[in-house]
Structure 1
Amino acid sequence: MANDHYFSATPESQARPRQIAVTLAGRSLSLTTAAGVFSPDGLDRGTRVLLNSVPPPAHDGALLDVGCGWGPIAITMAIHSPEAQVWGVDVNERVLDLARRNASTAGATNVSIALPADVPAGLRFRTIWSNPPIRVGKDELHDILMTWLPRLEVSGDAWLVVSKDLGGDSLQRWLHDTLGASFHVTRATTDKGFRVLRVHRTAE
C-alpha cells in the first residue's frame, strides 16, 4: 500500500476519483475529489469554520489560497470576487489537477492553480485565506507561512484556520513574534475547537 500524505508531491495510490456535493459561496456544486488528497469526502471542519467566519475577500487585485487542495477556498474567493485574480497553491500534483478541474466546473475563470514556484515572484496579495497544512511539521509550516505572509499588501489581511489541539495558540504567538511590527496578529474567532487567526499588514 502506498504511504501517501495529502502533502506528498506525487501520490502513488490510485486516484479513485469521486463526485461530491458541496455548497460554496451560496452555490450548490458537484465537484471532484480523489484518494491521496486532503478531505476527499467533502469540506473538512476547519475549512468550513474559515469560510463561515471570515469577511469577503478584497473585490479586486490578487488573492491567495495557501494549500488549496481540491479547491474549495480558492473557488469561494473567486465567486465572491469575480474581478480579482485568485491564486491557489499546493505541492500535490493530484490536487492541482483536481482544483483546476473544479474551478472550471464552478465557472471560476479567474482562478490560477499553481505550484508555489510558478507564482510570479513580485506578486503581492490583498487577501490570503488558508487552512494551512499543519501536519507537515512545525518547521515546514513556518517556512510556508513566511513565504507567503510577507507578500501581503499594506492594509491586506490573511485569515488562517488552525485547530486549537494542533497548536493554534502557539502559532498565533509565533506569528506575532516573527512577523514583527509591520503586522498585527489577532485571534478573530474560536469555533468547534478551531482558531481563526487574522494577520493584518499595517506597513512595509
Structure 2
Amino acid sequence: MTEYYYTQNPEVLHEKRQWQFTLLNQNLTFNSDNGVFSKATVDFGTRTLLEALNLKEFTGEVLDVGCGYGPIGLAIAKAVPEIHVDLVDVNLRALDLCKENAEQNNIHNVTIWESDTYDKVEKTTYQTVVSNPPVRAGKSVVTKILVEAKNHLQVGGSLIIVLQKKQGAPSAKKKMEQVFGNAKIIHKQKGYYIIKSVKESQ
C-alpha cells in the first residue's frame, strides 16, 4: 500500500534531507524526509499563500492546519515574533520534522502537536487559521478544514486557504461563502487561488 503524507505513520523508508528557502523575507533551513508533503522544496501553493498575506494584520494567535514540516506556520512565526502560532498535523513524521525545524531556526513562539484537523484543537479565539489543505486526503477532509475553522476563530478572525482551481478552489469558495457569509479570492497565480473568509459574528 502506498502511504500518503496525510496518514499518521507513513511506512516509507527514511531519506532525510536538508535545504534552505526564503519565505516572508526570512532565510529558513528545512529538514525533510520521505512520507511528507512536498519533501524536496517548499511547494508553489504554500509560497503563493504566504505571498498573499498582509503580516500587519497578524496581531493575535494563528493556527496552521495540516502544517506538514512547517513552512507556513514557521515562516509566519519567524516573521512576526510577537505573535504565537499553533501548528497541527496528523502525520507524526511531519510533526517531528516541524519541531526540528522550529528549533533549528530558533523559532520559539510556536506550539506543535498531533491533531486530525481540529480534533485536538481546543482554542476558539484564533485570529487567523491558515491551511494548504491535503487534497489527496479527500474532499471530506478539505471540507472539514473549511467548515470547522469558524468554530476556532474569534469574531473578526479570518480563514485563509490555498487551493488549485482544478482541485476544487471554486467549490471551496462556495462552501466558505455558505459557512461564513463571505469569501474573497485575495490572490491568484498559475491556477492557485488564495481564498479568505472573515468570521463576522458568532
Compute the TM-score of the two structures, normalised by the length of structure 2. 0.92
- Return the alpha-carbon distance in structure 2 between the equivalents of residues 190 and 59 of structure 1: 21
Could you tell me which residue of structure 1 aligns to residue 172 of structure 2?
Answer: 171
Q: Which amino acid aligns with 2:95?
A: L
- Return the alpha-carbon distance in structure 2 between the equivalents of residues 101 and 57 of structure 1: 27
The answer as to whether partners of 1:58 and 1:81 remain within 8 angstroms in 2 is no
RMSD: 1.6
Structure 2 alignment gaps of length 5 or more: none
Could you tell me which residue of structure 2 aligns to residue 106 of structure 1?
Answer: 105
Q: What secondary structure, in the 3-state scheme, does the structure 2 residue paired with 1:65 have?
A: strand
* Worse-superposed segment, 160-169 or 23-32: 23-32
- Return the alpha-carbon distance in structure 2 between the equivalents of residues 98 and 180 of structure 1: 33
The answer as to whether partners of 1:128 and 1:158 remain within 8 angstroms in 2 is yes
The answer as to whether partners of 1:58 and 1:127 remain within 8 angstroms in 2 is no
Shift, 1:5, TM fit: 0.3
Trace 1:87-166 onto structure 2 (pairs within 5 A).
87-116=86-115, 117-119=119-121, 121-166=122-167
Q: What secondary structure, in the 3-state scheme, does the structure 2 residue paired with 1:76 have?
A: helix
The answer as to whether partners of 1:188 and 1:197 remain within 8 angstroms in 2 is yes
Shift, 1:122, TM fit: 3.5
Q: What secondary structure, in the 3-state scheme, does the structure 2 residue paired with 1:154 have?
A: strand
- Return the alpha-carbon distance in structure 2 between the equivalents of residues 148 and 108 of structure 1: 25
Relative distance call for 1:180 and 1:46 in structure 2 (3 A) is closer
- Return the alpha-carbon distance in structure 2 between the equivalents of residues 80 and 51 of structure 1: 11
Compute the TM-score of the two structures, normalised by the length of structure 1. 0.91
Trace 1:1-204 onto structure 2 (pairs within 5 A).
3-56=2-55, 58-116=57-115, 117-119=119-121, 121-177=122-178, 179-181=179-181, 184-204=182-202
- Return the alpha-carbon distance in structure 1 between the equivalents of residues 55 and 180 of structure 2: 26
Q: What secondary structure, in the 3-state scheme, does the structure 2 residue paired with 1:203 have?
A: coil
Shift, 1:59, TM fit: 4.0
Q: What secondary structure, in the 3-state scheme, does the structure 2 residue paired with 1:98 have?
A: helix
Q: Which amino acid aligns with 2:160?
A: W
Shift, 1:153, TM fit: 1.1
Relative distance call for 1:196 and 1:64 in structure 2 (3 A) is same
Once the two structures are superposed, residues 156-202 of structure 1 have per-residue CA deviations (whole angstroms, 9 ceiling, x without a partner) of: 1121110001010111012212x144xx2111121111011011111
Percent identity at matched positions? Answer: 33
Q: Which amino acid aligns with 2:130?
A: W
Tell me which stretches of 4 or more aligned residues in structure 1 moved more than 6 Å. Answer: none
- Return the alpha-carbon distance in structure 1 between the equivalents of residues 48 and 9 of structure 2: 29
The answer as to whether partners of 1:186 and 1:197 remain within 8 angstroms in 2 is yes
Structure 1 alignment gaps of length 5 or more: none
Q: What secondary structure, in the 3-state scheme, does the structure 2 residue paired with 1:127 have?
A: strand
Q: What secondary structure, in the 3-state scheme, does the structure 2 residue paired with 1:188 have?
A: strand
- Return the alpha-carbon distance in structure 2 between the equivalents of residues 197 and 59 of structure 1: 17
The answer as to whether partners of 2:124 and 2:151 remain within 8 angstroms in 1 is no
The answer as to whether partners of 2:180 and 2:197 remain within 8 angstroms in 1 is no
